[in-house]
Amino acid sequence: MAKTTKTLKLTFLNGKNKKTSVTLGDAVDNLTAEQVRGAMTTIAQANVFEKDGVKNYVTPQSAAYIERTVSDIFNDGDADQAESADKQD
């Protein structure tokens, strides 16, 4: 059975002008460019994310929804978990 997940990837330039990103799971669908750009600007202006003296999220660069579909060929782990749950009951 195929399982599809959707995340929102926000890409920024950091304090050294290198790309860095944050990926959000369970993102709201159909956000507009204006909404996402506004949120990214707020993150950048908050100035609270830093690593080794370099600001992580300085300039909003891009945003994209990423969809990932996983199609199991087989998964014996699911059967083991079901059997384990049955034994506990």
pLDDT of the residue at 26: 84
Residue 35 CB partners (closer than 8 Å, separation 6+)? none
Domain of residue 74: give its range.
2-88
pLDDT of the residue at 46: 96
Q: How many domains does the chain have?
A: 1
Q: What tens digit of pLDDT does each residue of 65-89 get?
A: 999 999 999 999 876 665 555 666 6
Nearest to 9 by CA among 70, 54, 61: 61
Q: Is the pTM of this model over 0.85?
A: no
Residues 34-49: what's their mean pLDDT?
Answer: 96
Q: What tens digit of pLDDT does each residue of 12-31 get?
A: 999 999 999 999 998 899 99
Strands 59-71, 54-55: pairing kind: unpaired
What is the b/e burial string over 67-84, where b = at least 16 CB atoms within 10 angstroms of the residue's CB?
eeeeeeeeeeeeeeeeee
